[in-house]
Amino acid sequence: MNLPSVIRKPLIAAILGALTIAVPAGALYLAGATRAVATTAPSAAMSSGATGTSTAASPATPAPAAAGPATMLPDFSSMVQKYGPAVVNISVVSKVSTSWSSGDNPGDDSGDNSGDNNDNPSDSNPFGPNSPFAPFFRGLPFQMPQPQPMRGEGSGFIIRPDGVIMTNAHVVNGASEVTVRLTDRREYTAKVVGVDPKSDIAILRIPAKDLPTVRIGDSRGLKVGEWVLAIGAPFGFENSATAGIVSAKGRTLESGYVPFIQTDVPINPGNSGGPLFNMRGEVVGINSQIYSRSGGYMGVSFSIPIDVAMQVGEQLQTTGHVTRGKLGVVIQPVTQGLADSFGLPQPEGALVSSVEKGGPAEHAGIESGDVILKLNGTPLKDSSELPVQIAAIAPGTSVKLEIWRNHARREITVKLGTVADKRTAATGGPHQEGGRLGLAVRPLTAEEQDANTRGGLVVERASGPAAAAGIRPGDVVLAANGSPVHDAEELRSAVEKSKGHIALLIQRGDARLFVPVRVG
Protein backbone atom coordinates (compact mmCIF):
# COMPACT_ATOMS: atom_id res chain seq x y z
CA MET A 1 0.00 0.00 0.00
CA ASN A 2 1.57 3.20 -1.20
CA LEU A 3 1.15 6.76 0.26
CA PRO A 4 -1.33 8.09 -2.28
CA SER A 5 -3.68 5.17 -1.70
CA VAL A 6 -3.53 5.78 2.07
CA ILE A 7 -4.28 9.49 1.75
CA ARG A 8 -7.29 8.74 -0.40
CA LYS A 9 -8.93 6.85 2.48
CA PRO A 10 -11.63 9.03 4.06
CA LEU A 11 -10.49 8.75 7.71
CA ILE A 12 -6.85 9.49 6.95
CA ALA A 13 -7.83 12.44 4.78
CA ALA A 14 -9.95 13.91 7.57
CA ILE A 15 -7.10 13.63 10.13
CA LEU A 16 -4.60 15.27 7.78
CA GLY A 17 -7.03 18.10 7.07
CA ALA A 18 -7.54 18.73 10.75
CA LEU A 19 -3.78 18.82 11.42
CA THR A 20 -3.29 21.22 8.53
CA ILE A 21 -5.66 23.70 10.22
CA ALA A 22 -4.62 23.10 13.84
CA VAL A 23 -0.86 23.51 13.49
CA PRO A 24 -0.88 27.10 12.09
CA ALA A 25 -3.61 28.12 14.53
CA GLY A 26 -1.60 26.74 17.46
CA ALA A 27 1.50 28.57 16.27
CA LEU A 28 -0.43 31.84 16.11
CA TYR A 29 -1.85 31.28 19.61
CA LEU A 30 1.57 30.56 21.11
CA ALA A 31 3.06 33.66 19.47
CA GLY A 32 0.26 35.88 20.87
CA ALA A 33 0.59 34.41 24.34
CA THR A 34 4.34 35.09 24.33
CA ARG A 35 3.79 38.79 23.47
CA ALA A 36 1.13 39.10 26.19
CA VAL A 37 3.53 37.77 28.84
CA ALA A 38 6.27 40.20 27.75
CA THR A 39 3.85 43.15 27.94
CA THR A 40 2.16 42.40 31.25
CA ALA A 41 5.22 41.34 33.28
CA PRO A 42 6.64 44.91 33.86
CA SER A 43 3.22 46.22 34.79
CA ALA A 44 2.77 43.42 37.28
CA ALA A 45 6.22 44.17 38.70
CA MET A 46 5.39 47.85 39.18
CA SER A 47 2.08 47.01 40.74
CA SER A 48 3.78 44.67 43.16
CA GLY A 49 6.41 47.32 43.96
CA ALA A 50 3.71 49.87 44.83
CA THR A 51 2.24 47.50 47.36
CA GLY A 52 5.58 46.52 48.83
CA THR A 53 5.76 42.92 47.39
CA SER A 54 8.63 43.53 44.96
CA THR A 55 11.79 45.40 45.88
CA ALA A 56 13.10 45.51 42.30
CA ALA A 57 10.40 47.95 41.14
CA SER A 58 10.40 50.29 44.18
CA PRO A 59 12.23 53.27 42.58
CA ALA A 60 9.51 53.66 39.97
CA THR A 61 8.24 57.07 38.88
CA PRO A 62 5.20 57.36 41.19
CA ALA A 63 7.43 57.84 44.27
CA PRO A 64 8.90 61.21 43.19
CA ALA A 65 5.46 62.37 42.08
CA ALA A 66 4.09 61.72 45.58
CA ALA A 67 6.94 63.71 47.16
CA GLY A 68 6.49 66.73 44.84
CA PRO A 69 4.23 68.96 47.06
CA ALA A 70 6.48 68.49 50.11
CA THR A 71 9.51 69.84 48.25
CA MET A 72 7.66 73.12 47.60
CA LEU A 73 7.29 73.98 51.31
CA PRO A 74 9.95 76.39 52.67
CA ASP A 75 12.70 75.23 54.99
CA PHE A 76 13.47 77.85 57.66
CA SER A 77 16.02 75.81 59.60
CA SER A 78 19.13 77.58 58.25
CA MET A 79 17.51 80.96 58.84
CA VAL A 80 16.67 80.16 62.46
CA GLN A 81 20.17 78.84 63.04
CA LYS A 82 21.78 81.96 61.56
CA TYR A 83 19.60 84.74 62.99
CA GLY A 84 18.07 83.10 66.05
CA PRO A 85 20.98 84.21 68.30
CA ALA A 86 20.15 87.86 67.46
CA VAL A 87 16.64 87.48 68.95
CA VAL A 88 16.47 88.18 72.69
CA ASN A 89 14.04 87.60 75.52
CA ILE A 90 13.00 90.66 77.53
CA SER A 91 11.77 90.45 81.12
CA VAL A 92 10.33 93.50 82.85
CA VAL A 93 9.38 94.37 86.41
CA SER A 94 6.97 97.18 87.18
CA LYS A 95 6.02 98.46 90.60
CA VAL A 96 2.41 99.55 90.45
CA SER A 97 1.07 101.08 93.61
CA THR A 98 -2.30 100.24 95.03
CA SER A 99 -4.92 103.00 94.96
CA TRP A 100 -4.90 105.68 97.60
CA SER A 101 -7.97 104.81 99.61
CA SER A 102 -9.93 106.30 102.46
CA GLY A 103 -9.02 105.89 106.09
CA ASP A 104 -11.68 103.27 106.73
CA ASN A 105 -10.36 99.82 107.48
CA PRO A 106 -11.75 97.49 104.84
CA GLY A 107 -11.42 94.56 107.21
CA ASP A 108 -13.47 96.16 109.98
CA ASP A 109 -17.04 94.82 110.04
CA SER A 110 -18.07 96.65 113.19
CA GLY A 111 -19.33 99.67 111.31
CA ASP A 112 -17.93 101.93 114.03
CA ASN A 113 -15.80 104.64 112.50
CA SER A 114 -15.72 106.81 115.58
CA GLY A 115 -12.92 104.91 117.33
CA ASP A 116 -9.35 106.01 117.80
CA ASN A 117 -7.47 106.33 114.52
CA ASN A 118 -4.37 105.02 116.29
CA ASP A 119 -5.80 101.52 115.97
CA ASN A 120 -4.86 101.68 112.31
CA PRO A 121 -1.87 103.99 112.02
CA SER A 122 -1.59 103.59 108.24
CA ASP A 123 -5.05 105.04 107.62
CA SER A 124 -5.44 108.49 106.12
CA ASN A 125 -2.29 110.07 107.53
CA PRO A 126 0.90 109.26 105.64
CA PHE A 127 3.02 110.99 108.29
CA GLY A 128 1.83 108.84 111.20
CA PRO A 129 -0.85 109.31 113.88
CA ASN A 130 1.33 111.38 116.20
CA SER A 131 2.53 113.91 113.64
CA PRO A 132 1.36 117.55 113.94
CA PHE A 133 -0.31 117.12 110.54
CA ALA A 134 -2.60 114.31 111.71
CA PRO A 135 -5.67 116.51 112.26
CA PHE A 136 -5.49 117.74 108.69
CA PHE A 137 -5.65 114.22 107.22
CA ARG A 138 -8.64 112.86 109.10
CA GLY A 139 -11.32 111.91 106.59
CA LEU A 140 -9.17 112.63 103.55
CA PRO A 141 -9.08 109.96 100.83
CA PHE A 142 -5.39 109.26 101.21
CA GLN A 143 -3.56 106.14 102.21
CA MET A 144 0.06 105.40 101.48
CA PRO A 145 0.14 102.77 98.75
CA GLN A 146 2.10 99.57 98.88
CA PRO A 147 3.96 99.00 95.61
CA GLN A 148 3.16 95.66 94.05
CA PRO A 149 5.70 94.21 91.58
CA MET A 150 4.29 93.16 88.24
CA ARG A 151 6.27 91.05 85.81
CA GLY A 152 6.01 90.65 82.07
CA GLU A 153 7.90 89.19 79.13
CA GLY A 154 8.42 90.00 75.50
CA SER A 155 10.91 89.69 72.69
CA GLY A 156 13.33 91.92 70.82
CA PHE A 157 16.17 91.77 68.32
CA ILE A 158 19.67 93.21 68.14
CA ILE A 159 20.13 95.82 65.40
CA ARG A 160 23.68 96.89 66.28
CA PRO A 161 26.57 94.79 67.60
CA ASP A 162 27.25 97.30 70.40
CA GLY A 163 24.07 96.34 72.22
CA VAL A 164 21.24 98.34 70.59
CA ILE A 165 17.97 96.39 70.68
CA MET A 166 14.58 97.13 69.14
CA THR A 167 11.29 95.97 70.67
CA ASN A 168 7.71 97.10 71.22
CA ALA A 169 6.93 100.09 73.41
CA HIS A 170 4.19 98.18 75.23
CA VAL A 171 6.73 95.55 76.30
CA VAL A 172 8.81 97.99 78.38
CA ASN A 173 6.31 100.79 79.01
CA GLY A 174 6.18 101.61 82.71
CA ALA A 175 8.91 99.14 83.64
CA SER A 176 11.21 99.94 86.54
CA GLU A 177 13.60 97.15 85.60
CA VAL A 178 14.33 95.63 82.18
CA THR A 179 16.42 92.47 81.77
CA VAL A 180 17.63 91.18 78.41
CA ARG A 181 18.54 87.50 78.08
CA LEU A 182 20.49 86.20 75.08
CA THR A 183 20.28 82.71 73.61
CA ASP A 184 23.62 81.81 75.23
CA ARG A 185 21.96 82.58 78.63
CA ARG A 186 23.88 85.78 79.27
CA GLU A 187 21.73 88.39 81.01
CA TYR A 188 22.03 92.18 81.04
CA THR A 189 20.15 95.01 82.72
CA ALA A 190 18.96 97.18 79.85
CA LYS A 191 18.67 100.93 79.63
CA VAL A 192 15.59 102.24 77.85
CA VAL A 193 16.91 104.76 75.34
CA GLY A 194 13.52 105.89 74.10
CA VAL A 195 9.90 104.89 73.71
CA ASP A 196 7.31 105.96 71.13
CA PRO A 197 3.83 104.73 72.09
CA LYS A 198 2.25 106.06 68.89
CA SER A 199 4.18 103.61 66.74
CA ASP A 200 4.73 101.06 69.56
CA ILE A 201 8.53 101.15 69.09
CA ALA A 202 11.17 101.19 71.84
CA ILE A 203 14.97 101.17 71.76
CA LEU A 204 17.05 99.47 74.48
CA ARG A 205 20.78 99.30 75.07
CA ILE A 206 22.81 96.72 76.94
CA PRO A 207 26.51 96.93 77.94
CA ALA A 208 27.85 94.38 75.46
CA LYS A 209 29.92 94.26 72.28
CA ASP A 210 30.34 92.08 69.21
CA LEU A 211 26.80 90.77 69.42
CA PRO A 212 25.05 88.95 66.57
CA THR A 213 22.66 91.16 64.62
CA VAL A 214 19.76 90.72 62.24
CA ARG A 215 19.77 91.91 58.64
CA ILE A 216 17.31 94.73 57.96
CA GLY A 217 15.18 94.38 54.84
CA ASP A 218 12.64 96.52 52.96
CA SER A 219 9.04 95.91 53.91
CA ARG A 220 7.81 97.89 50.90
CA GLY A 221 8.80 94.99 48.64
CA LEU A 222 6.82 92.48 50.68
CA LYS A 223 4.03 90.79 48.72
CA VAL A 224 0.72 89.35 49.87
CA GLY A 225 1.00 85.55 49.88
CA GLU A 226 4.74 85.59 50.60
CA TRP A 227 6.12 83.26 53.27
CA VAL A 228 7.33 84.90 56.50
CA LEU A 229 8.92 83.63 59.72
CA ALA A 230 8.54 84.91 63.29
CA ILE A 231 10.98 84.21 66.13
CA GLY A 232 10.13 85.09 69.72
CA ALA A 233 9.19 83.81 73.14
CA PRO A 234 5.48 82.93 73.19
CA PHE A 235 4.37 82.32 76.77
CA GLY A 236 8.04 82.50 77.76
CA PHE A 237 9.22 79.68 75.47
CA GLU A 238 12.34 81.39 74.18
CA ASN A 239 13.56 81.35 70.57
CA SER A 240 10.42 79.71 69.21
CA ALA A 241 9.94 79.86 65.43
CA THR A 242 6.53 80.04 63.73
CA ALA A 243 5.74 80.64 60.06
CA GLY A 244 2.90 81.71 57.80
CA ILE A 245 2.13 84.01 54.90
CA VAL A 246 1.42 87.70 54.43
CA SER A 247 -2.36 88.08 54.45
CA ALA A 248 -2.60 91.81 53.67
CA LYS A 249 -0.66 95.07 53.84
CA GLY A 250 -1.45 98.60 54.92
CA ARG A 251 -3.84 97.73 57.74
CA THR A 252 -4.53 100.82 59.87
CA LEU A 253 -5.41 100.17 63.50
CA GLU A 254 -6.07 102.58 66.35
CA SER A 255 -2.80 104.57 66.19
CA GLY A 256 -3.24 105.72 62.59
CA TYR A 257 0.52 106.16 62.13
CA VAL A 258 1.44 102.57 61.22
CA PRO A 259 0.43 100.66 58.05
CA PHE A 260 0.48 97.23 59.69
CA ILE A 261 1.40 94.00 57.91
CA GLN A 262 -1.29 91.37 58.46
CA THR A 263 -0.15 87.74 58.56
CA ASP A 264 -1.43 84.35 59.67
CA VAL A 265 1.80 83.62 61.56
CA PRO A 266 0.97 82.21 65.02
CA ILE A 267 1.71 85.07 67.44
CA ASN A 268 0.97 84.81 71.16
CA PRO A 269 1.77 86.76 74.34
CA GLY A 270 5.55 86.94 74.60
CA ASN A 271 6.06 87.25 70.83
CA SER A 272 5.63 91.03 70.99
CA GLY A 273 8.73 92.87 69.85
CA GLY A 274 10.19 89.91 67.97
CA PRO A 275 11.27 90.06 64.32
CA LEU A 276 9.34 89.00 61.22
CA PHE A 277 11.65 87.60 58.51
CA ASN A 278 11.13 87.17 54.79
CA MET A 279 12.51 84.18 52.87
CA ARG A 280 15.81 86.01 52.28
CA GLY A 281 16.47 86.17 56.01
CA GLU A 282 15.78 89.92 56.23
CA VAL A 283 13.69 91.52 58.97
CA VAL A 284 10.63 93.10 57.35
CA GLY A 285 8.50 93.72 60.44
CA ILE A 286 8.12 93.68 64.22
CA ASN A 287 5.42 91.44 65.67
CA SER A 288 3.14 93.72 67.62
CA GLN A 289 -0.53 92.76 67.91
CA ILE A 290 -3.06 90.01 67.36
CA TYR A 291 -6.78 90.06 66.74
CA SER A 292 -8.34 87.73 69.26
CA ARG A 293 -11.57 87.08 71.10
CA SER A 294 -9.93 84.56 73.40
CA GLY A 295 -6.67 86.31 74.28
CA GLY A 296 -4.65 83.88 72.16
CA TYR A 297 -3.82 83.38 68.51
CA MET A 298 -6.83 83.18 66.18
CA GLY A 299 -5.19 83.42 62.77
CA VAL A 300 -4.83 87.20 62.46
CA SER A 301 -1.54 88.86 63.48
CA PHE A 302 -0.16 92.33 62.86
CA SER A 303 3.44 93.47 62.45
CA ILE A 304 4.96 96.95 62.22
CA PRO A 305 6.78 97.46 58.90
CA ILE A 306 10.52 97.65 59.49
CA ASP A 307 10.77 100.85 57.41
CA VAL A 308 8.53 102.66 59.88
CA ALA A 309 10.27 101.08 62.85
CA MET A 310 13.77 102.05 61.71
CA GLN A 311 12.74 105.63 61.03
CA VAL A 312 11.30 105.90 64.54
CA GLY A 313 14.27 104.03 66.05
CA GLU A 314 16.81 106.41 64.52
CA GLN A 315 15.03 109.41 66.04
CA LEU A 316 14.83 107.73 69.44
CA GLN A 317 18.54 107.00 69.39
CA THR A 318 19.40 110.54 68.29
CA THR A 319 17.00 112.76 70.24
CA GLY A 320 15.14 110.43 72.60
CA HIS A 321 11.78 111.34 71.08
CA VAL A 322 9.96 111.31 67.72
CA THR A 323 8.73 114.29 65.71
CA ARG A 324 5.98 113.92 63.12
CA GLY A 325 4.51 116.18 60.51
CA LYS A 326 1.02 117.54 61.11
CA LEU A 327 -1.57 118.61 58.56
CA GLY A 328 -4.30 119.61 60.99
CA VAL A 329 -7.36 117.90 59.52
CA VAL A 330 -9.77 115.16 60.50
CA ILE A 331 -10.42 112.78 57.61
CA GLN A 332 -12.72 109.90 56.75
CA PRO A 333 -12.87 107.29 53.98
CA VAL A 334 -14.54 108.10 50.67
CA THR A 335 -17.34 105.60 50.07
CA GLN A 336 -19.17 105.09 46.80
CA GLY A 337 -22.08 107.16 48.07
CA LEU A 338 -19.79 110.05 49.05
CA ALA A 339 -17.97 109.81 45.73
CA ASP A 340 -21.29 110.13 43.89
CA SER A 341 -22.27 113.07 46.08
CA PHE A 342 -19.05 114.98 45.40
CA GLY A 343 -18.95 114.05 41.72
CA LEU A 344 -15.80 111.93 41.98
CA PRO A 345 -15.26 109.40 39.18
CA GLN A 346 -14.44 106.70 41.76
CA PRO A 347 -14.14 106.40 45.58
CA GLU A 348 -10.54 107.36 46.41
CA GLY A 349 -8.57 109.79 48.53
CA ALA A 350 -9.32 111.21 51.99
CA LEU A 351 -12.38 113.32 52.72
CA VAL A 352 -11.72 116.26 55.07
CA SER A 353 -14.52 116.24 57.63
CA SER A 354 -13.11 119.09 59.78
CA VAL A 355 -10.14 121.45 59.84
CA GLU A 356 -8.21 122.33 62.97
CA LYS A 357 -8.59 126.00 63.80
CA GLY A 358 -5.31 127.80 63.34
CA GLY A 359 -3.62 124.67 61.99
CA PRO A 360 -1.46 124.27 58.89
CA ALA A 361 -4.37 123.13 56.71
CA GLU A 362 -6.52 126.14 57.61
CA HIS A 363 -3.67 128.54 56.88
CA ALA A 364 -3.24 126.91 53.47
CA GLY A 365 -6.95 127.23 52.63
CA ILE A 366 -8.12 123.63 52.96
CA GLU A 367 -11.82 123.41 53.75
CA SER A 368 -14.19 120.86 55.16
CA GLY A 369 -15.58 118.84 52.28
CA ASP A 370 -12.34 118.82 50.28
CA VAL A 371 -11.14 115.42 49.11
CA ILE A 372 -7.35 115.02 49.19
CA LEU A 373 -6.45 112.92 46.14
CA LYS A 374 -2.65 113.18 45.97
CA LEU A 375 0.25 113.97 48.29
CA ASN A 376 3.35 115.24 46.47
CA GLY A 377 2.06 113.65 43.29
CA THR A 378 1.39 110.23 44.83
CA PRO A 379 -2.26 109.10 44.58
CA LEU A 380 -4.04 108.19 47.80
CA LYS A 381 -6.06 105.06 47.16
CA ASP A 382 -7.35 104.98 50.74
CA SER A 383 -7.76 107.61 53.43
CA SER A 384 -5.59 105.60 55.86
CA GLU A 385 -2.53 106.31 53.69
CA LEU A 386 -2.60 110.07 54.38
CA PRO A 387 -1.77 110.18 58.13
CA VAL A 388 0.96 107.57 57.67
CA GLN A 389 2.67 109.54 54.92
CA ILE A 390 2.24 112.95 56.60
CA ALA A 391 3.66 111.63 59.88
CA ALA A 392 6.79 110.43 58.06
CA ILE A 393 7.56 113.95 56.76
CA ALA A 394 9.59 116.32 58.91
CA PRO A 395 7.70 119.25 60.46
CA GLY A 396 8.19 122.51 58.59
CA THR A 397 8.30 120.78 55.20
CA SER A 398 6.04 122.14 52.47
CA VAL A 399 3.95 119.53 50.68
CA LYS A 400 1.75 119.71 47.61
CA LEU A 401 -1.78 118.40 47.88
CA GLU A 402 -4.10 117.75 44.96
CA ILE A 403 -7.66 118.18 46.19
CA TRP A 404 -11.14 117.80 44.74
CA ARG A 405 -13.44 120.75 45.36
CA ASN A 406 -16.63 121.76 43.53
CA HIS A 407 -16.25 119.01 40.93
CA ALA A 408 -12.75 120.15 39.95
CA ARG A 409 -9.14 119.40 40.83
CA ARG A 410 -6.79 122.00 42.27
CA GLU A 411 -3.40 122.10 43.99
CA ILE A 412 -2.62 123.55 47.42
CA THR A 413 0.76 123.86 49.13
CA VAL A 414 0.80 123.30 52.91
CA LYS A 415 3.65 123.84 55.36
CA LEU A 416 3.36 121.03 57.88
CA GLY A 417 3.24 121.62 61.61
CA THR A 418 4.35 119.33 64.43
CA VAL A 419 2.29 116.65 66.15
CA ALA A 420 2.20 117.56 69.83
CA ASP A 421 4.26 115.15 71.89
CA LYS A 422 2.82 114.96 75.41
CA ARG A 423 5.93 113.25 76.70
CA THR A 424 7.70 116.27 78.16
CA ALA A 425 9.81 114.81 80.96
CA ALA A 426 13.50 114.19 80.41
CA THR A 427 14.45 111.27 78.21
CA GLY A 428 17.50 109.11 78.13
CA GLY A 429 17.43 108.35 81.85
CA PRO A 430 17.13 104.94 83.43
CA HIS A 431 13.33 105.08 83.25
CA GLN A 432 11.84 105.60 79.86
CA GLU A 433 9.68 108.62 79.22
CA GLY A 434 10.41 110.05 82.62
CA GLY A 435 14.10 110.62 83.15
CA ARG A 436 15.13 110.43 86.79
CA LEU A 437 11.59 110.49 88.21
CA GLY A 438 9.87 108.15 85.77
CA LEU A 439 7.14 110.71 85.00
CA ALA A 440 5.49 111.60 81.70
CA VAL A 441 3.66 114.90 82.13
CA ARG A 442 1.93 117.63 80.16
CA PRO A 443 0.56 121.10 80.97
CA LEU A 444 -3.05 121.48 82.01
CA THR A 445 -5.40 122.55 79.25
CA ALA A 446 -7.74 125.51 79.69
CA GLU A 447 -10.67 123.14 80.14
CA GLU A 448 -8.87 121.21 82.89
CA GLN A 449 -8.05 124.29 84.96
CA ASP A 450 -10.47 125.46 87.61
CA ALA A 451 -10.56 127.79 90.61
CA ASN A 452 -8.54 125.34 92.70
CA THR A 453 -6.04 124.33 90.05
CA ARG A 454 -4.12 126.97 88.15
CA GLY A 455 -1.11 125.76 86.23
CA GLY A 456 0.57 122.50 87.05
CA LEU A 457 1.37 119.36 85.07
CA VAL A 458 -0.91 116.40 84.46
CA VAL A 459 0.72 113.00 84.95
CA GLU A 460 0.25 110.92 81.79
CA ARG A 461 2.31 107.93 82.90
CA ALA A 462 4.24 107.05 86.03
CA SER A 463 7.01 104.50 86.38
CA GLY A 464 10.13 103.92 88.43
CA PRO A 465 10.56 106.15 91.53
CA ALA A 466 7.35 108.11 90.87
CA ALA A 467 5.19 104.99 90.70
CA ALA A 468 6.94 103.54 93.74
CA ALA A 469 6.09 106.71 95.67
CA GLY A 470 2.41 106.36 94.78
CA ILE A 471 2.01 108.88 91.97
CA ARG A 472 -0.33 107.69 89.30
CA PRO A 473 -1.80 108.91 85.97
CA GLY A 474 -4.30 111.72 86.40
CA ASP A 475 -2.49 113.34 89.33
CA VAL A 476 -1.55 117.00 88.93
CA VAL A 477 1.94 118.12 89.95
CA LEU A 478 1.55 121.63 91.37
CA ALA A 479 4.97 122.29 92.88
CA ALA A 480 8.41 120.78 93.33
CA ASN A 481 10.30 121.47 96.57
CA GLY A 482 7.87 124.28 97.31
CA SER A 483 8.26 126.06 93.96
CA PRO A 484 5.29 126.07 91.53
CA VAL A 485 5.85 124.26 88.22
CA HIS A 486 4.13 125.35 85.03
CA ASP A 487 6.03 123.36 82.42
CA ALA A 488 8.33 120.39 82.09
CA GLU A 489 11.47 122.53 82.05
CA GLU A 490 10.73 123.89 85.52
CA LEU A 491 10.15 120.37 86.79
CA ARG A 492 13.33 119.15 85.15
CA SER A 493 15.31 122.02 86.66
CA ALA A 494 13.96 121.23 90.13
CA VAL A 495 14.93 117.58 89.72
CA GLU A 496 18.47 118.49 88.70
CA LYS A 497 18.87 120.65 91.82
CA SER A 498 17.54 117.96 94.15
CA LYS A 499 19.71 115.53 96.09
CA GLY A 500 18.27 112.20 97.10
CA HIS A 501 14.56 113.14 97.14
CA ILE A 502 12.26 115.76 95.73
CA ALA A 503 8.97 116.78 97.36
CA LEU A 504 6.16 117.03 94.83
CA LEU A 505 2.88 118.73 95.71
CA ILE A 506 0.23 116.49 94.19
CA GLN A 507 -3.44 117.23 93.70
CA ARG A 508 -5.82 114.31 93.30
CA GLY A 509 -9.43 115.29 93.11
CA ASP A 510 -10.01 117.93 95.79
CA ALA A 511 -7.15 116.83 98.04
CA ARG A 512 -3.50 117.89 98.02
CA LEU A 513 -0.47 116.16 99.48
CA PHE A 514 3.31 116.45 99.31
CA VAL A 515 4.82 113.19 98.10
CA PRO A 516 8.57 112.54 98.52
CA VAL A 517 10.03 110.90 95.42
CA ARG A 518 13.48 109.38 95.23
CA VAL A 519 15.56 110.99 92.50
CA GLY A 520 16.98 108.25 90.27
CATH code: domain 439-518 is 2.30.42.10
Q: What is the pLDDT of residue 377?
A: 93
Report yes or no: 442 and 485 within 8 Å, Cβ to Cβ.
Answer: no
Report yes or no: 243 and 230 within 8 Å, Cβ to Cβ.
Answer: yes
d(CA 399, CA 402) in angstroms, rounded, equals 10
Mean pLDDT of 422-448: 59
Q: What is the pLDDT of residue 104?
A: 43
Mean pLDDT of 418-434: 47
Task: State pLDDT tens for residues 81-119.
Answer: 999 999 999 999 886 554 444 444 444 443 444 444 444
Task: State pLDDT tens for residues 53-82.
Answer: 343 444 444 444 444 545 578 899 999 999
Domain 79-102+133-321 matching CATH 3.40.80.10: the answer reads no
Mean pLDDT of 496-518: 81
Among candidate residues 123, 124, 199, 200, the one labeled active-site is: 200
Q: What is the mean pLDDT of the chain?
A: 78
Task: State pLDDT tens for residues 473-482.
Answer: 888 898 887 7
The candidate with the shortest Cα–Cα distance to 236, out of 154, 292, 164, 321, is 154
pLDDT of 507 over the 70 cut: yes
Please give the sequence-ordered ranges of beta strands (E in DSSP) within 218-337, or none if there are none: 227-232, 240-252, 259-263, 275-277, 282-290, 301-305, 325-326, 329-333
The candidate with the shortest Cα–Cα distance to 62, out of 49, 80, 75, 71, is 49
Among candidate residues 272, 301, 303, 463, the one labeled active-site is: 272
If one compares 456 and 31, the residue with the highest pLDDT of the two is 456
Longest Cα separation, the chain? 164
pLDDT of 303 over the 90 cut: yes
- Mean pLDDT lowest for which of 123-137, 223-237, 431-445? 123-137
Residue 501 designated active-site: no
Domain boundary assignment for the chain: 3-50, 79-102+133-321, 325-418, 439-518
Q: What is the pLDDT of residue 145?
A: 54
Residue 116 designated active-site: no
Q: What is the pLDDT of residue 311?
A: 92
Mean pLDDT of 465-486: 85
Q: What is the pLDDT of residue 1?
A: 53
CATH architecture classification, 325-418: Roll (2.30)
d(CA 20, CA 37) in angstroms, rounded, equals 27
Q: What is the pLDDT of residue 2?
A: 60
pLDDT of 49 over the 50 cut: no
pLDDT of 455 over the 80 cut: no
Topology match between the domains 79-102+133-321 and 439-518 = no
Among candidate residues 47, 48, 170, 292, the one labeled active-site is: 170
Report yes or no: 258 and 384 within 8 Å, Cβ to Cβ.
Answer: no
pLDDT of 462 over the 80 cut: yes
Report yes or no: 227 and 263 within 8 Å, Cβ to Cβ.
Answer: no
